[in-house]
A and B are shown apart, each in its own frame.
Chain A
């Protein structure tokens, strides 16, 4: 079994590096996209095991991207973690309504993020 692939859609390069560093010592393989459209294209091409989707994205919002991914049979069942900006403000509900599997409020703890990733896409042990 090949390593689990995780797609992180996020426009902020520093945050992308954060997750890259976080996953460096794991068996996960990280692929990145910096806007909603690119994220959808990459998801359809690479079939990631899990998608981390920032909600505030240029061109197409993360919510819209999640809706489109859910509408496509290829990605309809892929777990998606929405990364929302405003804790407790109803963004979590919007993310769930759009079809997100789970959500994480920003700023997120890398520890929590990794736990969430491991829960939704258990790490392959036989690499």
Chain B
């Protein structure tokens, strides 16, 4: 009788300990330990009914004490842990009564105890998760504010940087125009370099400002009806001198029946200037073509060149900020490293997308499509 009882006690102990272990695994701190101890205690108590009473009281006290200590953090699930402990104690008591009728209820009590423990543990876990996600949300808010602050700073800096540049470029231009007297050829050349570098600096500042505004979510498109033909033609007119200087052909190709489109013409020509300007920069011989096609209700702009092309592994990062495919490119070809990133953002703001097809050594095609009416 006693041997069989011990076996059953062991089985019972295993069960209870498994439940307790789960609780320990699923939560942390005193509550799990107390629950585990109370359940383990039942198993021990089964061996000696006299020891049982003492342990029951001890564990119950421990549980209450632990809950009292933890109350501030754990008040949401304290009743459950306390109840689970109570059920576990009851299960043990009934079990050691050796009354076969009590056994069923003892198991029921045990299952209830384990269930309540799990429930408490889950609740604790959920609460922890909620607290953590609240913390993350708060942190995100702080980061957003910091990012906004950064963008504001960049925007005001860009403005401040332009004021002295106005004087530098302006006075230099007037000196070059010989407003202050005749210029010797030796002086003209460095002055022209000042003008070129100043304009480059201005482009950089403009791009940084644009990007800062886009990132701060304060860039708005000025939508209006515009002529695709006029836009493309003005881009060609702007870039023609650069193409001529390099001996490149700059062509446009668009059907005459393209309807009046709606979008931010200023931004679209900025995108085309960026793309075609890049093409001219990276093409030593041959031609650059700006083409437009109407496909359903979308305008497909294509800037094709016969330039150095882009290696397949460089295409992925092409539209990231300050990412020229090769650091030496900046020194040889100039550029701000921001043009493509800004272009992509403007096209996306129009509800469009941009991509590139290229073969190193043969040339590149930058393609973007935007709705005819954005």
Q: Are B179 and A14 in contact (CB under 8 A)?
A: no
A14 touches B206 (CB 8 A): no
Contacting pair B167 A111 (CB below 8 A)? no
Q: Is the CB of B222 within 8 A of A22?
A: no
Q: How far is the CA of A15 from the CA of B266 in the complex (A)?
A: 27
Assuming A22-B179, A109-B173, A111-B177, is B167 touching A88 (CB within 8 A)? no
Interface size for B (C-beta < 8 A) is 24
| Cα distance, A89 to B158, chains bound together (Å) | 13
Q: Find out whether the CB atom of B166 lies under 8 angstroms from the CB atom of A18.
A: yes
In the complex, the chain B residue whose C-beta lies closest to that of A13 is B167
**B171 contacts across to A, CB distance below 8 A:** 18, 21
Inside 8 A of A15's CB, which chain B residues have their CB? 163, 166-167, 170
Question: How many angstroms from the CA of A86 to the CA of B159 in the assembled complex?
Answer: 8
Chain B residues positioned under 8 Å from A108 (CB to CB): 166, 170
Contact A18/B213 with A88-B267, A111-B177 known, Cβ cut-off 8 Å: no
| Contact pick for A90, options B162, B202, B206, B222, CB 8 Å | B222
Interface centre among A22, A90, A110 (most CB of B within 10 A): A110
Question: Are A107 and B266 CB-contacts (below 8 A) given A22-B174, A87-B206?
Answer: no
In A69-127, the 8 Å CB interface with B consists of 85-90, 93, 106-111
One of A24, A25, A86, A106 near B166 (C-beta < 8 A): A106
Given the known inter-chain contacts A88-B270, A90-B222, please indicate yes or no for A106 contacting B174, CB distance below 8 A. no
Complex contact B174–A107 (CB within 8 A): no
The 8 Å CB contact of A89, one of B169, B177, B213, is B213
Q: Chain B CB within 10 Å — which of A15, A85, A89, A93 has the most? A: A89
Q: Is the interface of B mostly helix, strand, loop or mixed?
A: helix
- How far, in whole Å, are A14 and B267 apart by their CA atoms in the complex? 31
Q: Are A107 and B169 in contact (CB under 8 A)?
A: yes
Interface string of B174-188 (1 = CB under 8 A from A): 100101100000000
List, in ascending order, chain A residues with CB within 8 A of B174's CB: 18, 21-22, 110
Query: Contact between B163 and A12 (Cβ–Cβ < 8 Å)?
Result: yes
Task: Check: B165 CB closer than 8 A to any chain A CB.
Answer: yes
Kindly state whether residue B313 has any CB partner on chain A within 8 Å: no
Across the interface, B173 reaches (CB within 8 A) one of A87, A93, A110, namely A110
Complex formed: what's the CA distance from A63 to B180 in Å? 33
| A contact residues around B173 at 8 Å (CB) | 109-111
A90 vs chain B, min Cβ distance (A): 6
Q: Which residues of A have CB within 8 Å of B169?
A: 107, 109
Complex interface: chain A residues within 8 A of B202 (CB) = 107
A110 proximity list for chain B (CB < 8 A)? 170, 173-174, 177
Residue of B162, B166, B177, B267 ringed by the most chain A CB atoms within 10 A? B166
- Report chain B residues within 8 Å CB of A87: 206
* Contact yes or no, B213 A107, CB < 8 A: no
A85 to B, closest residue via Cβ:
B159
CB distance from B26 to the nearest CB of A (A): 56
Say how far B290's CB is from chain A's closest CB, in angstroms: 20
A25 to B267, CA, bound (A): 38
B48 lies within 8 A of chain A by Cβ: no
The docked-state distance in angstroms from the alpha carbon of A30 to that of B180 is 18
Q: Is the CB of B266 within 8 A of A88?
A: yes
Chain B interfacial positions (CB closer than 8 Å to A): 159, 162-167, 169-171, 173-174, 177, 179-180, 202, 206, 209, 213, 220, 222, 266-267, 270
Add 14 more A-B contacts to A18-B166, A87-B206, A109-B170 (CB < 8 A). A14-B167, A15-B166, A18-B167, A18-B170, A21-B179, A21-B180, A22-B174, A24-B179, A86-B209, A88-B270, A93-B222, A107-B162, A108-B166, A108-B170
* 16 pairs of residues in contact across A and B, judged by CB atoms under 8 Å: A12-B163, A14-B167, A15-B166, A15-B167, A21-B171, A21-B179, A22-B174, A24-B179, A86-B159, A88-B267, A88-B270, A89-B213, A90-B222, A108-B170, A110-B170, A110-B173
Residues in chain A within 8 A of chain B (CB atoms)? 12, 14-15, 18, 21-22, 24-25, 56, 85-90, 93, 106-111
